[in-house]
Amino acid sequence: MSQVDLRPLERHWNCRLTVRGRRSGEPRTVTMWFALDPAARRIYLTGSGEPPQWVRNVRAHEAAGGAVTVQIGATRLHGRARVVDDPAEAEAIRLRFVRRYLGARLARLLGRGYVDSTAVVVAQLRASEADG
């Protein structure tokens, strides 16, 4: 497993998450905001309070290892995703988004987002062979 330096990826605002569909088994890709924890080598994602399809797909594949791909800029990373069930951990992740994105800050102030959103952690990151 190659070490991944996440710090250079902070300059990007969006990522593309690919996870297998829970029914079809086909790759499903969505574009979304992300937050990084370079020290822990983790990527954080959030979905609305009513879990969107991508969160449901992550949850369905957790027992089998939760394999996902996250592309940030030209960097493609493979990792293991899990839905966060601990309320304190989920809130800490939501607050990362509030600090990083003005839109998240405003949504939270208005009570319309980042208040009860589902948090997902992607860890055990490794770069694609083509990315080094």
Class of 7-131 per CATH?
A: mainly beta
CA dist., res. 52 & res. 46, Å (int): 10
Kindly state the average pLDDT of the residues 24-29.
95
Average pLDDT value for residue range 8-12: 96
Query: Is 11 in a helix, a strand, or coil?
Result: helix
The residue type found at 132 is: G
The count of other CB atoms within 10 Å of the CB of residue 124 is: 15
In angstroms, rounded to a whole number, what is the distance separating the alpha carbons of residues 115 and 124? 27
pLDDT digits (tens, 9 = 90+) for 92-125: 999 999 999 999 999 999 988 899 999 999 999 9
> How does the average pLDDT of the chain come out, rounded?
92
Q: Is the pLDDT of residue 31 over 60?
A: yes
CA distance 45 to 63: 19
Confidence (pTM)? 0.92
In angstroms, the CA 125 to CA 108 distance is: 29
